[in-house]
Amino acid sequence: MLGEKYFQLDMSYWGRSRRLVIQILCIWALVAYGLPALVIQTNKMNYLGFPLGYYNCAQVIPLFFGALLLIFNHVQEGIEADQMDGKPMVEAASSSALNAVLMKVYVAYTGGFVSFVLFLGFLEAVGVPDQAIGILFVIFTLGMYAAIGIASRTSKSDDFYVAGRNVPPIFNGMATAADWMSGASFVGMAGTLYALGYDGLAYITGWTGGYVLVSTVIAPYLRRFGSFTVPEFIASRYQGTVQLPGGRVVEVSGVARFLATIVLLSCSFTYLTAQVYSTGVIVSRFIGIQFEVAVFSGLIGVLFCSLLGGMRAVTYTQVAQYVILIIAYTVPAICMSTTQDDGFNKNNPVEFLVYGGTLQAIALREKEMVLLGLASKVTPYLEPKWRRVDFFALTFCLMVGTASLPHVLMRYFTTPSVRAARRSVTWSLAFILVLYMTAPAYAAFAKLEVYTNVIGQPLSVLPQWVFTYGKIGLTSVCGKAVTSVNEAVEACAQATGGDYLLRLKDLKISKDAMVIATPEIAGLPYTIAGLVSAGGLAASLSTADGLLLAISNALSHDIYFRLIDDKASIQKRLLISRVLLVVIALMAAGTAASKPADILSMVAWAFSLAASGNFPALVLGIWWRRANAQGAIAGIICGWGLTLTYLLGTVYGGWELWGGISNVAAAVFGLPVGFAANIIVSLLTSPPPDNVLAMVDSLRDFKVTGEDLTAEELEDIKEKEEALARTQVLQVSNTAEATAAATPATPTTLESSI
């Protein structure tokens, strides 16, 4: 009967996997948007001293995303075990052995770094100048990264592009976390929370929630395909022909590849500029050189790894950088946490459980400053100021952008198997959560310190950090970047008619200065401040490495090798990639030296560009068989083009915001347009060719993918895929057969399109 057939469950591997993904995403959306929607009501409740609404967005939702991925992996692996008739899937012995070796190496490395920090603490205690300690931190860390780059140098294309596809999940997770936790997260996240309060939590919710999309919707299928770059997948998925007015029929996969590369360049270069900018901020502060010089100096550490070993060197360097950045981020927070005594906690080192009392103290101090005349009005730190639609729009764009960033997705090309790719995403989120769970505490501790010990104080007793960061333009007093008490007195006398008690509006602190300044704000030893600088440098350099590789690999592999010279030798392709690395790095440094915007804004632009340009093509390419090349091209042009136009118009053209939506959430306009254009044009034109449909089916079929194969067998399959790809060159044909292939086919059934 029709009803019985309609309600019959598809128990195939793909049917069960698809239902699982839908269920996970429904739960994900309910939590990601349901809890923030109730923040005003839930903030009236307290949990361990925390307003519950704030705590839900800062801590509960990100942790829930991690738990959701664990559940997804467990159930999905159970589905795959059924396909194996209960037999365990065999991991490659080479990957297991590598995991054991790497574990020993990085445990020793971590111990060595901790010993180095303790040694510098001893030097500070015996009177070594602060600047010397800062220089030692920078030199040591850059030297370590360079040494890893030299040790990991390679001339093999597979090593250079995808690290040999044998990086164990836990270490790929650490490398991805370092790649992800850029200067925006390390330098900008706590500063944004300091400035925006509750509204800044949209970044935490969006960036952590995006990894659920990565794991369930995209990463396993890209790994199953086995490409080097995201544009390569898009070109292979969107093959097809178009008949020109003169009757000629041309292959259009090259157009899809070219557009995907343009999208990659736009989002990655914007992101890269932000990392180079944050590198300049850190180096200029702790070495004492001019910002513009510091920007170009920071490139040395970036290029050493990328030039010598490509993805292989960058991967192992990023693992080392994660160790440094997470120690550097958590140690100051733990030090500040142990000083708290709020009635709920006393000397508690677990910072994300402690700052509830600090949040309450901030709320009380806000009211007190108004009563004392230190502020005419204070925007409550714990309450939402944005419209809910603004919060949700930014959260959505960051989530989708996370699942679309090429330099993040290419990290999952390096794992030994599809299952390892999924596990790697979970490890990535786990390591990222260590920082993101700490950032709200970091911001709260700094906020209370400034409100209590800086605002309302005479200018004559302002702390030294105000003048230190004034020298590099990251703090200002009464509208001027002052470097001494006399300059501060002069600036405020001119601005406020002799009122020398510092008021709230008189002090401006750049969001990008907050993390590196907090140890000094809290009065911690300078060694801790130097440690933070080393961590910030690690965060910026690790992401810059990944972005440079994504850009240069796309240009050398997808543009030069695939579209210009498909007979180029491996040596020539690697040489071109390395030359492009240098050129792109210099361009990014030149752009960053002009200080175009704050770090987090530049990064948010990159997410919107990636989301509108890549996400529709990737998702429809995997999940909808009917999507074709013409649809993908239309979707990229319309979606990405609209997002870019809105960004440029509102940032540089003086346009009014559409519906009040900030340009950092520009993809909220471009993304639905991209999906609509892709779907409509695909339905109005001929279906994809049979070989593309077969490829889509192979992405969904566990038996065909070889997930249970060893790394050596997978490499053999990859070589065959490379040989096949070489035969797919652009062709121009006037034959009747080609013309017939381009003629719109009769509509297909719904079943064949799904």
Quickly list DSSP for 291-352.
HHHHHHHHHHHHHHHHHHHHHHHHHHHHHHHHHHHHHHHHHHHHHHHTT-BSSS-BS---GG
- Residue with the bigger pLDDT between 527 and 278: it is 527
Distances in Å between the alpha carbon of 375 and those of 195, 197, 502, 505? 16, 17, 10, 7
Same-domain pairing of 483 and 580: no
Same-domain pairing of 362 and 345: yes
Same-domain pairing of 415 and 482: no
Q: Which two tokens stand for residue 206?
A: 């969006």
Same-domain pairing of 484 and 619: no
What CA–CA distance (Å, rounded) separates 584 from 553? 12
Please say if the pLDDT value at position 214 is more than 50.
Answer: yes
Q: Which two tokens stand for residue 549?
A: 């590789």
Same-domain pairing of 477 and 428: no
Same-domain pairing of 422 and 466: no
- Residue with the bigger pLDDT between 390 and 739: it is 390
The answer to whether residue 726 is domain-embedded is no
Give me the helix-helix angle, 291-337 and 130-151, nearest 10°.
100
The answer to whether residue 203 is domain-embedded is yes
Q: Which two tokens stand for residue 220?
A: 């396993």
Residue 305: its pLDDT value, please? 58
Q: Which two tokens stand for residue 517?
A: 């300044």
Please say if the pLDDT value at position 25 is more than 90.
Answer: yes
Classify residue 523 by its DSSP letter. Answer: T
Question: In this predicted model, what pLDDT tens digit does every residue of 263-309 receive, in sequence order?
Answer: 998 888 878 887 888 787 777 766 777 777 777 776 776 666 566 65
- Residue with the bigger pLDDT between 241 and 677: it is 677
Residue 244: its pLDDT value, please? 72
Same-domain pairing of 568 and 427: yes
Same-domain pairing of 469 and 595: no
Question: Residue 733 pairs with which residues in a beta bridge?
Answer: 249
Question: In this predicted model, what pLDDT tens digit does every residue of 474-516 receive, in sequence order?
Answer: 889 988 888 888 888 888 876 554 457 888 999 998 887 788 8
Least confident of 10-19, 160-169, 661-670: 160-169
Q: Which domain holds residue 187?
A: 11-146+163-456+503-700
User: Of how many residues is the chain composed?
Assistant: 754
Question: In this predicted model, what pLDDT tens digit does every residue of 406-464 receive, in sequence order?
Answer: 888 988 988 888 899 999 999 999 999 999 999 999 899 889 989 998 999 888 888 88
Q: Which two tokens stand for residue 501?
A: 């008690």
Question: How many structural domains does the chain have?
Answer: 2
Question: In this predicted model, what pLDDT tens digit does every residue of 124-156 receive, in sequence order?
Answer: 999 898 888 878 887 888 788 878 877 777 767
Q: List helix spans (H) across 471-598.
A: 485-496, 514-521, 526-553, 570-592
Question: In this predicted model, what pLDDT tens digit does every residue of 538-572 receive, in sequence order?
Answer: 888 788 878 887 888 788 877 888 778 878 887 78
Q: Which two tokens stand for residue 722?
A: 């490379």
What CA–CA distance (Å, rounded) separates 583 from 171? 30
Q: Which two tokens stand for residue 482?
A: 């002052």
Sign of CA dihedral 202, 207, 208, 211: positive
Instruction: Kindly compute the dihedral angle of the four CA atoms of residues 255, 258, 261, 263, in this order, to the nearest 10 degrees.
Output: -60
Question: In this predicted model, what pLDDT tens digit does every residue of 704-738 receive, in sequence order?
Answer: 444 444 444 445 445 544 544 444 433 333 333 44
Last residue of a domain, one of 700, 719, 747: 700
- On average, the pLDDT of the chain sits at 82
Q: What is the pTM of this model?
A: 0.85
Closest CA to 256 of 551, 558, 42: 558
Pairing outcome for strands 249-251 and 241-243: antiparallel
Same-domain pairing of 481 and 392: no
Sign of CA dihedral 607, 611, 612, 613: positive
Inter-residue contact 172 to 427 (CB < 8 Å): yes
- Residue with the bigger pLDDT between 648 and 704: it is 648
**CATH code of 522's domain:** 1.20.1730.10
Please say if the pLDDT value at position 403 is more than 80.
Answer: yes
The answer to whether residue 407 is domain-embedded is yes
Share of residues in the chain with pLDDT > 90 (%): 38
What CA–CA distance (Å, rounded) separates 589 from 584? 9
- Residue with the bigger pLDDT between 700 and 430: it is 430
Residue 27: its pLDDT value, please? 97
Please say if the pLDDT value at position 343 is more than 90.
Answer: no
Residue 95: its pLDDT value, please? 64
The answer to whether residue 518 is domain-embedded is yes
What's the whole-number mean pLDDT along residues 157-177? 84
Q: How confident is the model at residue 577 (pLDDT cuts 50, 70, 90)?
A: confident
Residue 716: its pLDDT value, please? 47
Q: How confident is the model at residue 205 (pLDDT cuts 50, 70, 90)?
A: very high
Please say if the pLDDT value at position 187 is more than 60.
Answer: yes
Last residue of a domain, one of 469, 502, 535: 502
Q: How confident is the model at residue 754 (pLDDT cuts 50, 70, 90)?
A: very low
Same-domain pairing of 423 and 322: yes
Closest CA to 15 of 108, 68, 83: 83
What's the whole-number mean pLDDT along residues 20-26? 96
Question: In this predicted model, what pLDDT tens digit does every residue of 593-643 receive, in sequence order?
Answer: 776 655 556 677 888 999 999 999 999 999 999 999 999 999 999 999 999
Please say if the pLDDT value at position 38 is more than 90.
Answer: yes
Long-range pairs, 48-53, Cβ under 8 A, ≥24: 48/344, 48/345, 48/353, 48/356, 49/342, 49/343, 49/344, 49/345, 49/356, 49/357, 49/359, 49/360, 50/355, 50/356, 50/359, 51/356, 51/359, 51/382, 53/198
Please list, in sequence order, all residues whose beta carbon lies within 8 angstroms of the beta carbon of residue 533, skipping any fewer than 6 positions away.
Answer: 134, 137, 138, 282, 285, 286, 328, 516
Residue 85: its pLDDT value, please? 67
Last residue of a domain, one of 441, 476, 502: 502
What CA–CA distance (Å, rounded) separates 475 from 469? 6
- Residue with the bigger pLDDT between 649 and 229: it is 649
Inter-residue contact 292 to 593 (CB < 8 Å): yes
Same-domain pairing of 478 and 586: no
Please say if the pLDDT value at position 400 is more than 90.
Answer: yes
What's the whole-number mean pLDDT along residues 103-117? 93
Residue 496: its pLDDT value, please? 52
Least confident of 115-119, 314-318, 395-399: 314-318
Please say if the pLDDT value at position 359 is more than 60.
Answer: yes
Q: Containing H/E element for 753?
A: helix 750-753
Q: Would you tell me how many other CB atoms lie within 10 Å of the CB of residue 447?
A: 25
The answer to whether residue 657 is domain-embedded is yes
Q: List helix spans (H) across 454-525.
A: 464-470, 485-496, 514-521
Burial class of residue 116 in the structure, from the number of CB atoms within 10 Å of its CB (0-12 exposed, 13-18 middle, 19+ buried): middle
Question: In this predicted model, what pLDDT tens digit does every residue of 665-684 receive, in sequence order?
Answer: 999 999 999 999 999 999 99
Burial class of residue 34 in the structure, from the number of CB atoms within 10 Å of its CB (0-12 exposed, 13-18 middle, 19+ buried): exposed
Burial class of residue 688 in the structure, from the number of CB atoms within 10 Å of its CB (0-12 exposed, 13-18 middle, 19+ buried): buried
Same-domain pairing of 618 and 659: yes
The answer to whether residue 106 is domain-embedded is yes
